[in-house]
Structure 1
């Protein structure tokens, strides 16, 4: 594997060997979820997909240890897998494994992202029954009235991914603190949650509309849930919208 550090690229570009593939953000501790990094205008990446992979113990242990050291920093973690194969292969069960490389994603003061390899490629397994959300992006879709997220997780560990309804937009995943009222059926498959106190921006935001530590009420159907905004596991308001 190349040891090069890649800055603010989705398809890695190494001066010696161009590399292109999918990236999945690692979200969670007790159960580690994988969130595909979507791009509106690159057809092979124009999907929101949330699943769990069967991760080798070595990778899981390294991810959790490194996360513990950077818990209070704007640091994310991703899996890179080479090749522009269709994500539908995971969803329909024709792909059952993939080689993944663990990366630490750091963000500088200007917002540029750097992907630093932490572990060479190891095999992860995937099962179609572990997919909790899969939907193509529609740049021409209509914006919702209020902030709308996808709720996913397991037990008391609940995460929210911003639902990408139209372009331009921003991509964000957070882990909640003290989630109340969520049911297992809200998390798998991922339920749609609205936050009536926050108007949808109908465009790109420079930072998250959710303030860390603040408690919010949300709606899943006719039911009220609540959560405090916790650690941000991903943020992108640039390459998501690039043509």
Structure 2
């Protein structure tokens, strides 16, 4: 079993560390790049970091210039330290480098540095989801996502159950019925009109611009599928 992600999950010099995808504009969340078969990365984590103002501005400006392309943004933090340190509060800061993640026509990813390392702060109370990945877990019958965000900016991360699987985060349009308690901690949203593929989907089961009805428990929520902030079926499943 390999303990190193394939090259499309690493920068050109194959440095070792954690990556966190940047999600959102008004409130910026960080979504950990999880890998089922690399123990130090086998977690689905969503949190908020305290970000340097220059980093925030650079991210938002670059996103505005590339929003119509399949481009993502990540923070790279060197070192294989346990993510549990963020969750239990023993780690209060980490060095992060801002990267633009560009996807080519074959699905390969290139990580382009935008800013050198600056310190980001982290607080355990800003963690909205933390869960180990279990490749032997069963699949749900229908598409299941984790809702997070703030106010009218609601994001959905595909909940990672069994492997193989796909990792995706989208920002919704016109979210209705979501409550603050659905977003922190991240609530589970089921979309009963979309069957779970029970494997690594070739493309997103959610069509951008399409309205969907979901449920948080017994309560109805609605949203329109919007911009994709992350997608991964390769390194996620690599053994």
Cα RMSD for the two superposed structures: 1.0
The Cα of 1:66 is off from its aligned counterpart by 0.2
Question: Following TM superposition, where does structure 1 have runs of at least 4 consecutive aligned residues deviating by more than 2 angstroms?
Answer: 7-13
Which consecutive residues of structure 2, in runs of 5 or more, have no partner in the other structure? 1-5
Say whether the 8 Å CA contact 1:10–1:23 is kept in structure 2. no
The alignment partner of 1:232 has SS state of strand
CA distance 1:11–1:86, shift in 2 (3 Å): farther
Say whether the 8 Å CA contact 2:147–2:186 is kept in structure 1. yes
Aligned mates of 1:200, 1:102 — CA distance in 2: 33
Match of 1:3 in 2: none
Aligned mates of 2:231, 2:15 — CA distance in 1: 23
Aligned mates of 1:117, 1:125 — CA distance in 2: 20
The Cα of 1:10 is off from its aligned counterpart by 2.6
Match of 1:202 in 2: 198
The Cα of 1:19 is off from its aligned counterpart by 1.6
The alignment partner of 2:202 has SS state of coil
Q: TM-score, normalised by structure 1?
A: 0.95
Match of 1:72 in 2: 68
The Cα of 1:11 is off from its aligned counterpart by 4.0
Say whether the 8 Å CA contact 2:8–2:108 is kept in structure 1. no
Say whether the 8 Å CA contact 1:24–1:35 is kept in structure 2. yes
Which consecutive residues of structure 1, in runs of 5 or more, have no partner in the other structure? 1-6
How many residues are aligned here?
Answer: 234
Match of 2:110 in 1: 114
| 1:9 and 2:8 correspond | yes
Q: TM-score, normalised by structure 2?
A: 0.96
| 1:172 and 2:168 correspond | yes
The Cα of 1:13 is off from its aligned counterpart by 4.9
Say whether the 8 Å CA contact 2:156–2:170 is kept in structure 1. yes
